[in-house]
A and B are shown apart, each in its own frame.
Chain A
Amino acid sequence: METKLLEVRNLHTHFKTEDGVVPSVNGISFSVAKGETLAIVGESGCGKSVTSLSIMGLVAPPGQVVGGEILLEGQNLLALNKKELRKLRGNKLSMIFQEPMTSLNPVFTVGNQLGEVFRLHQNMDKQQARGRSIEMLETVGIPRADKVVDYFPHQLSGGMRQRVMIAIALACNPALLIADEPTTALDVTIQAQILELLKKLNDEYDTGVILITHDLGVVAEMADRVVVMYAGEVVEQANVFELFASPKHPYTKGLLGSLPKLDEQREELESIPGAVPNPLEMPGGCAFHPRCPLATEQCQSKKPSLVEVAPDHLARCLYA
């Protein structure tokens, strides 16, 4: 295949709680090519966000990356010290968060928070950083950027704030952008605009993107390849056309079944009965079996491994 931008190998991230160790990410592997958009999908609590924070090196205690490798252009991020990692963060590696309303610091202006990145990673002075900030705000489609640069976050709408977040993330033209549910908190028309913007920037800058979402509509529109996660593990992985055309894992099928038709009201992923299992009481065998319509006795005892079920198509199911 093409050159790999990011390769995650057998990543384990655990949270130590009073009741025991929670393996939020339990040995996942995937890769992102240059300019590729990889979607990671799954219900909340399946480990998507922890995966992205692990890549960024921002897992907060009591969480900890306990094993695996994260290779960015061949360099293992987990082997870097704090200082080296910090130099990459916001520079080659950046992230957009789910909550635009609370992700910007309320007491500093937009220009201050955006300019900070230029001053930090590109050694610009205040004036230069301000100039670049205005350009960047224009790039992400903010009107009257020369005014907005002096606004405080509370003076902007949610969609505008998310554009500012995108501007911050793309400021140093990163090789990899992680977008964690970038549109979930926004209303539908704004969602479409933001997605379009991300797509355009992805094409223009040839940035690799990891798009974390639970919304398969967004996946269909944006992604080249898809990783489906369940209970901290990858359960299926394929390119987007293959996955939508012939899903192999019952969980993926369930997710697709819950994809709203155009003429329907949206209800999120309601067609899979039950909920993500409590990570402290993981069912034996296949983690999905309590909710699986096709589960057999064997599924309760034998844990399936991730196997190639078709060219470039992996699935973790005994019957795939």
Chain B
Amino acid sequence: MRQYLLKSLLQIIPVLFLISIIVFVLVYCTGDPVSLMLSDTATDEDRRILIAALGLDQPLYIQYFTFIGHLFQGDFGNSFRYDMPALPIVMERLPATFELAIAAMLVATVISVPLGILSATKRNSFLDVLFSGSSVLGKAMPHFWLGIMLILLFAVELKALPVSGRGTLAHLILPAFTLGTGIAAEMTRLIRSSMLEILNQDYIRTARSKGLLESIVVYKHALRNSMIPVVTIMALQTSTLIGGTLITETIFSWPGMGQLIIQAVNTRDMAIVQAAVFVVAILVIFSNLLADILYRVLDPRIKYN
């Protein structure tokens, strides 16, 4: 186990390296931070000084090494909008995004596990057709539009829930559903097909031959096995989940990292963008690692080699 972990951690290094290149290329080579940072009245002399100060007159690879050097110290430069180091600003927004993401996963799980199981155990019944149809619809619907429709229904028409902001549980409901529905759609489909496959296995027949309650057959013997692929695939969706928070947070003015990124992109606050991309990438990489570990925990057949 330890060896396996060590090996996985080592494999992350080249990926992080490539991400640093991608971020570097994105920001340094395609943008012109100088004109963004200077006012229109700046003289050529001001410009030259700033270029030198930023090291932009250096050859590209030197610039990259400087960038990497700073990166190792967690220094992504200062946000010019907040006039503060970028990383702490990003980290400060992380809890809100976590809260939303976890709530969305919770919503997705609560919806999809029973629906997927029901669909599989009552295959081709009315319920199965209904749930499968809904999950297709859930995938086809852009979730930002769903969010708007939820606001229209629950906040504008029924006035039951707040439109935006963060604070109480009521604030969390609409964003969590907006983000969770799309995931639930995908998960329901996965659980259904995985469950159908497992229910045909010999060991399910064995379980029934012992006289076990059908609910124990399904929830103990089948569910554990069918969750192995589902958990793995879902954990690999972290990237999509975080991507989803960008828009969801914007719609609901949720003060998380997503909203911060969108604002930073719109104002070209590149230090924040870089820091955020890096933080997100690390989150995704580690959640993939976590998925792998979870997979090994769930399935005793996997050995560490």
Q: Footprint of B on A, CB under 8 Å? A: 56, 58, 60, 86-91, 94-95, 97, 99, 102-108, 116-117, 120-121, 152, 154, 165, 168-169
Complex A-B, nearest 10 residue pairs according to Cβ-Cβ distance, in ascending order? A89-B211, A90-B211, A90-B210, A102-B202, A105-B203, A152-B300, A103-B202, A86-B211, A95-B209, A154-B301
Return 28 A-B CB contacts under 8 Å, by A number.
Answer: A56-B209, A58-B209, A60-B205, A86-B211, A89-B208, A90-B210, A91-B211, A94-B209, A94-B210, A95-B209, A97-B205, A97-B206, A102-B201, A103-B205, A103-B206, A104-B206, A106-B300, A106-B301, A107-B224, A107-B225, A107-B299, A107-B300, A108-B224, A116-B210, A117-B211, A120-B211, A152-B300, A165-B206
Q: Which residues of B contact A168 (CB under 8 A)?
A: 206, 210
Whole-angstrom distance between the alpha carbons of A224 and B213 in the complex?
35
Q: Nearest Cβ in chain A — how far from B166, in angstroms?
A: 39
Whole-angstrom distance between the alpha carbons of A94 and B228 in the complex?
30
Q: Which residues of B contact A116 (CB under 8 A)?
A: 210, 212
Whole-angstrom distance between the alpha carbons of A90 and B205 in the complex?
12
Q: Identify the closest chain B residue to A87 (Cβ).
A: B211
Q: Nearest Cβ in chain B — how far from A115, in angstroms?
A: 11
Whole-angstrom distance between the alpha carbons of A60 and B225 in the complex?
20
Interface check B298, CB cutoff 8 A: yes
- Contact, CB under 8 Å: B206 / A105: yes
Whole-angstrom distance between the alpha carbons of A102 and B301 in the complex?
13
- Contact, CB under 8 Å: A105 / B211: no
Q: Which residues of B contact A103 (CB under 8 A)?
A: 202-203, 205-206
Interface check B207, CB cutoff 8 A: yes
Q: Nearest Cβ in chain A — how far from B279, in angstroms?
A: 35
Q: Identify the closest chain A residue to B123 (Cβ).
A: A61
Whole-angstrom distance between the alpha carbons of A105 and B202 in the complex?
8
Q: Identify the closest chain A residue to B200 (Cβ).
A: A60
Binary flags per residue of B135-160, CB closer than 8 Å to A gives 1, else 0:
00000000000000000000000000
Whole-angstrom distance between the alpha carbons of A154 and B203 in the complex?
13
Q: Identify the closest chain B residue to A92 (Cβ).
A: B211
Interface check B171, CB cutoff 8 A: no
Q: Which residues of B contact A104 (CB under 8 A)?
A: 203, 206
Interface check B93, CB cutoff 8 A: no
- Contact, CB under 8 Å: A120 / B212: yes
Q: Nearest Cβ in chain A — how far from B159, in angstroms?
A: 48
Q: Footprint of A on B, CB under 8 Å? A: 201-203, 205-213, 221, 224-225, 228, 298-301
Q: Which residues of A contact B202 (CB under 8 A)?
A: 97, 99, 102-103
Whole-angstrom distance between the alpha carbons of A213 and B173 in the complex?
60
Whole-angstrom distance between the alpha carbons of A94 and B206 in the complex?
10
Q: Nearest Cβ in chain A — how far from B154, in angstroms?
A: 41
Q: Which residues of A contact B210 (CB under 8 A)?
A: 89-90, 94, 116-117, 120, 168
Most buried by A among B201, B211, B221: B211
- Contact, CB under 8 Å: B205 / A58: yes
Q: Which residues of B contact A99 (CB under 8 A)?
A: 202
Most buried by A among B209, B213, B228: B209
Q: Nearest Cβ in chain A — how far from B221, in angstroms?
A: 5
Q: Which residues of B contact A90 (CB under 8 A)?
A: 209-212
Give which listed residue, A117, A154, A169, contacts B300 with CB less than 8 A: A154
Most buried by B among A58, A106, A107, A117: A107
Whole-angstrom distance between the alpha carbons of A60 and B224 in the complex?
22
Q: Nearest Cβ in chain B — how far from A135, in angstroms?
A: 18
Whole-angstrom distance between the alpha carbons of A87 and B211 in the complex?
6
Q: Which residues of A contact B203 (CB under 8 A)?
A: 102-106
Contact of A105 with B205 at beta-carbon distance under 8 Å, contacts A86-B213, A116-B212, A152-B300 already known = no
Q: Nearest Cβ in chain A — how far from B144, in angstroms?
A: 39
Q: Which residues of A contact B213 (CB under 8 A)?
A: 86
Q: Nearest Cβ in chain B — how far from A285, in angstroms?
A: 36
Q: Which residues of B contact A121 (CB under 8 A)?
A: 211
Q: Nearest Cβ in chain A — how far from B293, in angstroms?
A: 16
Whole-angstrom distance between the alpha carbons of A70 and B140 in the complex?
52
Q: Which residues of B contact A97 (CB under 8 A)?
A: 202, 205-206, 209
Q: Identify the closest chain B residue to A94 (Cβ).
A: B209
Q: Nearest Cβ in chain B — how far from A16, in angstroms?
A: 13
Whole-angstrom distance between the alpha carbons of A102 and B206 in the complex?
10
Whole-angstrom distance between the alpha carbons of A154 and B302 in the complex?
10
Whole-angstrom distance between the alpha carbons of A119 and B76 in the complex?
60
Whole-angstrom distance between the alpha carbons of A95 and B300 in the complex?
26
Whole-angstrom distance between the alpha carbons of A50 and B210 in the complex?
18
Whole-angstrom distance between the alpha carbons of A274 and B218 in the complex?
42
Q: Nearest Cβ in chain A — how far from B296, in angstroms?
A: 12
Whole-angstrom distance between the alpha carbons of A90 and B221 in the complex?
16
Whole-angstrom distance between the alpha carbons of A58 and B206 in the complex?
10
Q: Nearest Cβ in chain B — how far from A70, in angstroms?
A: 15
Q: Nearest Cβ in chain B — how far from A88, in angstroms?
A: 7
Q: Which residues of B contact A154 (CB under 8 A)?
A: 300-301
Whole-angstrom distance between the alpha carbons of A99 and B204 in the complex?
12
Whole-angstrom distance between the alpha carbons of A107 and B298 in the complex?
7
Whole-angstrom distance between the alpha carbons of A95 and B206 in the complex?
8
Q: Which residues of A contact B225 (CB under 8 A)?
A: 105-107
